[in-house]
Amino acid sequence: MSVTRAEICAVACSDAWRDTGEKLAHGVGTIPAIGVRLARLTHNPDLVVGDGEAFLMSDVPPLGGSAAAGGQVEGWLPYRRVFDVVNSGRRQSMMGGSQIDQWGNQNISAIGDWRQPKRQLIGVRGAPGNTVNHRVDYWVSRHDSRVFVEAVDIVSGVGNDRARAHTSTALRFHELGLVITNLAVLDYGDDGRLKVRSFHPGVTPEQVQAATGFDIDVSTTEVTREPTAEELELIRMVIDPHSLRDREVQD
């Protein structure tokens, strides 16, 4: 049975929540949302999953469905309570990034000089609080040099260089995990810089380096794993029966 690049990315996202235990999962985007549900239904049954509104689900609904569309409600988490969870470190977020640099600094605020930007984006949103208080992973649906830049224009999410240079204990819970893209899975070396952990099947080191705006370690020979038969059935029949994943990632 053939496997699509979108399904490989979804499984890679799912693995980001492996062995995390009872944490509130926050996945931004179609592929991360599939990954969260897949993790809950397979290797991490203790993962706390919301319906995108204010309910916590013990039986996750299909992609795009709220508690009203199916699934078993097991709790209520209004917006004001989310900040308590964030501050306690009991959350793991997978966010997007309009720009990400070699240290993992993330920009979702604006492109260009902040005093007169060329393009206004969504603002820093929850990125500072997330990166200060709990693990943050990133999902990039299109790996190219406009996203992976030498230095971000505005720091929304705090990178490893800034966290390590900070002298107080305010960033003691700072933890950057994975950066998953349509080409590869990236993580961080001991020096805090991004490196390639695995290449998706069919992707070469040359492709990743050419699509990255800084020198990145592409020496690994690891290949991102493909989904199991059980995972494929869950993705295709239970989590994303309308194939929304293929709109975000194409082969």
**217 DSSP β-pair partners:** 195
Give me the DSSP letters along 162-222. HHHH--SSTTTT-EEEEEEESSEEEEE-TTS-EEEEEEPTT--HHHHHHTSSS--B-----
pLDDT for 61: 72
Q: Which domains does the chain have, with CATH numbers?
A: 5-240 (3.40.1080.10)
The C-alpha atoms of residue 170 and residue 148 are separated, in whole angstroms, by 27
Helices (H) and strands (E) in the chain, counts: 8, 13
C-alpha 67/C-alpha 52 separation (Å) is 9
* Residue 60, pLDDT score: 77
What Å distances lie between residue 8 and 25, 64, 221, 229, 248, CA to CA? 20, 20, 17, 12, 13
Q: Look at residue 65 in the predicted model and tell me its pLDDT.
A: 61
Alpha carbon distance 163, 215 (integer Å): 21
Please report the pLDDT score of residue 23 as a whole number.
93
**What's the longest Cα–Cα distance across the chain?**
53
Phi-psi region of 232 (alpha: psi -120 to 50; beta: other; left: phi over 0): alpha
pLDDT, position 143: 98
pLDDT along the chain (251 residues), means of 10: 94 96 92 95 91 76 66 79 86 96 97 92 90 96 97 96 90 94 98 98 98 98 97 95 93 76
Q: What is the dihedral of CA 38, 102, 148, 31, to 10 degrees?
A: 0
Residue 96 CB coordination number (10 Å): 17
SS3 sequence, 104-116?
A: CCEECCEECCCCC
Q: How many CB atoms lie within 10 A of CB 145?
A: 13
CA torsion, ordered 169, 150, 117, 93, to nearest 10 deg: -50
| Residues forming a β-bridge with 138 | 95, 179
What pLDDT, on a 0 to 100 scale, did the predictor assign at position 66?
61
Using CA atoms, how far apart are residues 177 and 244, in angstroms rounded to an integer? 26
- In this prediction the pTM is 0.93
pLDDT at site 67: 61
Residue 228: what residue type?
Answer: T
**CA nearest 140: which of 28, 223, 222, 8?**
28
Closest CA to 238 of 65, 27, 93, 58: 65
